[in-house]
Chain A
């Protein structure tokens, strides 16, 4: 359903309909644990906001100027048109919808069940499982620096943590892979705990998801 809503947001062409989908997904995200949802909400809103601000300056569409600025080398004259603003809002809302859909997936879904699914879903589930660890690692790095009297401030200070974070997540991924191999992952003839029976509401959810995608493509 989350994937269907994200796909509908990408396919829909009206600002209000994409906005509505993004709002709905944001409300779903708000059901996630307060301590963890902040990271996803801020990240999504910041990315969407940045896209909205930058898009009018790199696009050149429309003939109804709202603002005309100076001429900048390479970019030419900076101007913002009504059509560019609409396009920026549409793209920013699409990005927000996809971001919130991913956040809801990471915060609220049972990833264990995806492990019994197709291979790419298993990989995605394992990658998602590492995200909370990444959050804790980032907090741990900041704490270890504070414990030595070093304050981590500003974008530059936090950006310096990216490389160690990447290294620690790779190291963690290796440890997890080793533990999985030791526990027989990849062996032929894997079975699984009996799945819950397929119910009428599962069929309804699939039908609704397909309808949402079709509606997004044709009418929204």
Chain B
């Protein structure tokens, strides 16, 4: 499989998303693709699957050859079976409503003999450790379970090349570890685009580093790690934060709080938490442990079934999905919603998160990393006494994460900050305390 001098520009895009990219992918090779937000990682994944240019259109120069097929002449559907893709958000790629049929969907499209379809789907689910989900509706699955089903759907096709676009961005550390372990043992060619490099570096044969659509580095993993250490140190770790906040007045208190959705099993049961002005607290724990629910209770977005929630002052909360912050036609107007339309204040908030210059753009025209920062600006601008951030580093590259950590630390004295995160490195870099649902660990 080979990419030769590929330059690609999206329709209406000013500058190319990929510039003169040439790579080769050997059988059974695991290639990690790193790069800043908007560097072209996802575009490269789409070019390898044929979605670029067939689905997206645009100007395509050069050649992508997948097992003897030129992707300019062969539609992505025809490459199915040779190539399989798992996208960043598993929920966006689920087509059917039940797990077994979802995994069978690609096999049906491939024209697999009818009596082979379900056995192959079951085998793929067993390979990813998800056979127990086979009869479940997809609407009942957690993010981690959905990710496994998406991987099983891809593996059922028995591809020669597996493309993974930030597959662990929604997984807790343990689930991400086991996902990557599983992927590394498959023995097929894999291209994995990631923003959290540490775990992938341990397993990759080769690393590509993209910047502005160009391949800056194409080297063996050990060599690439040295390069990252010299030129992009944030990619190897954000460092730890050693300051412990001086306790000031209490802003928020949860005492023996319990909550359940629709009178079901309690998601939060007997949780107590205290947040003081000036401190940054990270809330960690596995998928489904109730972190987001605790965060929403603290911010006043949910009311507890039992227990007490006290909040002194105002609260603002950043939700996980940045797509929720696309209500206005312009980026600055979106941010201004929280400050009664004050565009001056909104533009300053955009500048603070590195988005100066995008004021007039539509929020939906921004890249995923830019949308994350727009969402952050939309809540920071409110100037709350309690700031709650739910997974603020999802889809954010390490450089931006370091900037976000610095911004939150600089403004820490103004408020109490609660951060729900799976990102251990970010928590270590920014938080005074880490609360793992059920036990508390103070970082010093």
A contact set with B: CB distance below 8 Å: 34-35, 110-112, 115, 126, 129, 132, 137, 140-141, 143-150, 160-161, 164, 167-168, 171-172, 175-194
Structural contact, A183 and B319, CB atoms closer than 8 A: no
Minimal beta-carbon separation of A143 from chain B (angstroms)? 6
Contacts of B96 in A (CB 8 A): 111-112, 115, 129
Interface on B for A, CB 8 Å cutoff?
49, 51, 54-55, 75-78, 80-81, 84-85, 87, 89, 92-98, 101, 104-106, 108-115, 117-118, 139, 153, 157, 262, 299, 301, 314-319, 321, 323-327, 337-338, 364, 375, 378-379, 382, 384, 388
8 extra A-B contacts, CB within 8 A, seeds A167-B326, A183-B109, A189-B111: A150-B337, A160-B327, A168-B326, A182-B80, A185-B109, A191-B111, A191-B117, A193-B117
A residues within 8 A CB of B316? 147-149
Cβ A190 vs Cβ B77 within 8 A: no
**Docked pose: A160 CA to B329 CA in angstroms:** 12
Query: What A residues does B112 contact at CB under 8 A?
Result: 191
Residue in chain A with minimal CB distance to B326: A164
Q: How far is the CB of B289 from chain A (nearest CB, A)?
A: 20
Task: Name B328's closest neighbour in chain A (CB-CB).
Answer: A164
Other-chain residue from A144, A178, A184 in contact with B319 (beta carbon distance below 8 A) = A144
Q: Given A183-B106, A184-B109, are A129 and B97 also a contact pair (CB < 8 Å)? A: yes
CB pair B93–A148 under 8 Å, yes or no, is no
A183 touches B95 (CB 8 A): yes
Q: Which one, B92, B111, B324, contacts A141 given CB within 8 A?
A: B324
> Provided the pairs A164-B327, A167-B326 are in contact, do residues A191 and B113 lie with their beta carbons within 8 angstroms?
yes
Closest residue to B109 on the A side, CB-wise? A184
Given A190-B108, A190-B109: A181 and B77 interface contact (C-beta under 8 Å): yes
Q: List 24 A-B contacts (CB under 8 A).
A: A110-B98, A126-B95, A132-B139, A140-B319, A143-B319, A145-B337, A147-B379, A149-B384, A172-B92, A178-B51, A178-B55, A179-B87, A179-B92, A179-B95, A181-B55, A182-B80, A183-B157, A184-B81, A184-B109, A187-B77, A189-B111, A192-B114, A193-B114, A194-B115
- Option from A182, A183, A194 in Cβ contact (under 8 Å) with B114: A194
* Those 5 A-B pairs whose CB atoms lie nearest each other, nearest first: A184-B80, A184-B109, A179-B93, A144-B324, A147-B317
Q: Which residues from chain B contact A150 at a C-beta distance below 8 Å?
A: 337-338
Q: Which residues on the B side are within 8 Å of A181 (C-beta)?
A: 51, 54-55, 75-77
CB neighbours of B114 from chain A (8 A): 191-194
Contact B382 A148 (CB under 8 A): yes
B77–chain A nearest beta-carbon distance, Å: 4
Asked if residues A140 and B337 are in contact (CB atoms below 8 Å), the reply is: no
Closest partner residue, chain A, to B302 (CB atom): A143
Q: When the two chains form their complex, are residues B97 and A183 in contact, meaning their CB atoms are under 8 A apart?
A: no
Q: Which residues of B have CB within 8 Å of A112?
A: 96-98, 101
Q: How far is the CB of A34 from chain B (nearest CB, A)?
A: 7
Select B299's contact among A110, A111, A147, beta carbons within 8 Å: A147
- Taking the closest CB of chain B, its distance from the CB of A133, in whole angstroms, is 8
Which chain B residues border A149 with CB–CB below 8 Å? 314-316, 338, 382, 384
Smallest CB separation, B268 vs chain A (Å): 17
Give chain B residues whose Cβ lies under 8 Å from the Cβ of A160.
Answer: 327
Residue from the list B49, B92, B101, B262 in contact with A176, Cβ < 8 A: B92
CA distance A172 to B89 in the complex (A): 11
Question: Would B379 and A148 count as touching, CB distance under 8 A?
Answer: yes
In Å, the complex CA distance between A139 and B324 comes to: 10
B13 CB to nearest A CB, Å: 16
Report how far A182 CA is from B105 CA in the complex, Å: 11
Residues of B within 8 A of A188 (CB): 111
A168 to B362, alpha carbons, bound, how many Å?
13
Interchain CA distance A63-B326 in the complex, whole Å: 54
CB-based nearest A residue for B378: A148
**Which of A161, A186, A191 contacts B327 (CB under 8 A)?**
A161
Which of the residues B317, B321, B388 comes within 8 Å of A140, measured between beta carbons? B321
- With both beta carbons as reference points, the residue of chain A lying nearest to B100 in the complex is identified as A193
Q: Which A residues are in CB contact (< 8 Å) with B111? A: 187-191
Q: Please name the residue on chain B nearest to A189 by beta carbon.
A: B111
- Point out the residues of chain B lying under 8 angstroms from A182, CB to CB: 49, 51, 76, 80, 84-85, 87, 93
Does B323 lie within 8 Å of A168, measured CB to CB?
Answer: yes
Q: Report how far A177 CA is from B77 CA in the complex, Å.
A: 11
Given known A-B contacts A182-B49, A187-B77, A192-B108, A175 and B93 have beta carbons under 8 A apart: yes
Question: Once bound together, how far apart are the Cα atoms of A167 and B351, in whole Å?
Answer: 26
Chain B residues with CB below 8 A from A35, complex form: 262
| A residues in contact with B95, CB < 8 Å | 115, 126, 129, 176, 179-180, 183, 185
In the bound assembly, the distance between CA atoms of A85 and B220 in angstroms comes to 80
Q: A110, A143, A184, A192 — which one has the most chain B CB atoms within 10 A of its CB?
A: A184
**In the assembled complex, which residues on chain A have CB atoms less than 8 Å from the CB atom of B327?**
141, 144-145, 160-161, 164
The residue of chain A having its C-beta at the shortest distance from the C-beta of B150 within the complex is: A179
**In the complex, what distance in Å separates the CA atom of A185 from the CA atom of B96?**
13
